[in-house]
Amino acid sequence: MMLEVRDLSVFYGDAQALDGVSLSIAAGEIVAIIGANGAGKTSLIHTLGGVLAPRSGSIRFEGQEIAGQPSHRVCNLGIGQVAEARQIFPSLSVLENLEVGAMLPRARSSAKRTLEHVFEMFPRLRERSSQSAGTLSGGEQQMLAIGRCLMGAPRLVMFDEPSLGLAPAIVTEVLRIIERLNRDDGITVLLVEQNVAASLRLAHRAYVLENGSVVLEGPGMELLGNPRVREAYLGL
């Protein structure tokens, strides 16, 4: 397994956000996490990414224990994150935003090649490379956030609500990009996506989080047909 999470518990002060979460992701997989608001999805991503320290439990990435390690170290091992709010730097140019992503030691030597790859994938970013990032449309900013993450040469990318607030056509495009990154570039994906049906269709496997615990897991297509999932998350 590329990522093995065992019995992870996370608190904000006295409030428990994750309670004994265990999950695994094999290299090459797309794994989706679904759950209602407040279920703990973002807390999970933040803990895996080193933004939050767990109170207990283990996170092994490619055999190495990373629980509680700071995010710069986790990133440099090859875990990238595309955050919920598309945290780009609006006053920096598109190119400068991408260069920030390549500042990780692991990414520096391949930065030129990766930049060319990102520009091939997102021609709009090349066209607008000297423009300040704040002038991009919402969809373009999301592409930039993905591009910046790729500049760090990740092996596992965690997407937190990548289509939040985007127009439907762009949501489809974002999901297509995730599929392509997985299929063509061999990037392993952890996906939290409000669009539950689409994310289960895309994912090889998925976990359902409720109140900080995993209550169901299985192949994406199987969960898509699960009555409990259909009722709670698909409104069917």
User: Which residues here bind ligand ATP, judged by CB under 6 A?
Assistant: 12, 15, 17, 35, 37-43
Q: Which is nearer to ligand ATP, 44 or 156 (CB)?
A: 44
Q: Which is nearer to ligand ATP, 42 or 69 (CB)?
A: 42
- In whole angstroms, the minimum distance from the beta carbon of 193 to ligand ATP comes to 10
- In whole angstroms, the minimum distance from the beta carbon of 38 to ligand ATP comes to 4
- In whole angstroms, the minimum distance from the beta carbon of 35 to ligand ATP comes to 5
Measured distance CA(42)–CA(37) in Å, rounded: 10
Q: Which is nearer to ligand ATP, 14 or 120 (CB)?
A: 14
Measured distance CA(179)–CA(48) in Å, rounded: 22
Q: Which is nearer to ligand ATP, 129 or 194 (CB)?
A: 194
Paired tokens of 74: 């986790």
- In whole angstroms, the minimum distance from the beta carbon of 189 to ligand ATP comes to 17
What dihedral angle (degrees, nearest 10) is formed by the CA atoms of 189, 192, 197, 200? 30
129 CB contacts (<8 Å, ≥6 apart)? Answer: 93, 94, 95, 98, 119
Q: Is 209 helix (H, G, I), strand (E, B) or coil?
A: strand
Among 85, 75, 80, 190, CA closest to 141: 85
Q: Which is nearer to ligand ATP, 51 or 92 (CB)?
A: 51
Q: Which is nearer to ligand ATP, 15 or 169 (CB)?
A: 15
- In whole angstroms, the minimum distance from the beta carbon of 27 to ligand ATP comes to 25
Measured distance CA(104)–CA(76) in Å, rounded: 6
Paired tokens of 97: 């935003």
- In whole angstroms, the minimum distance from the beta carbon of 51 to ligand ATP comes to 11
- Contact in structure between 100 and 149 (CB atoms under 8 Å): no
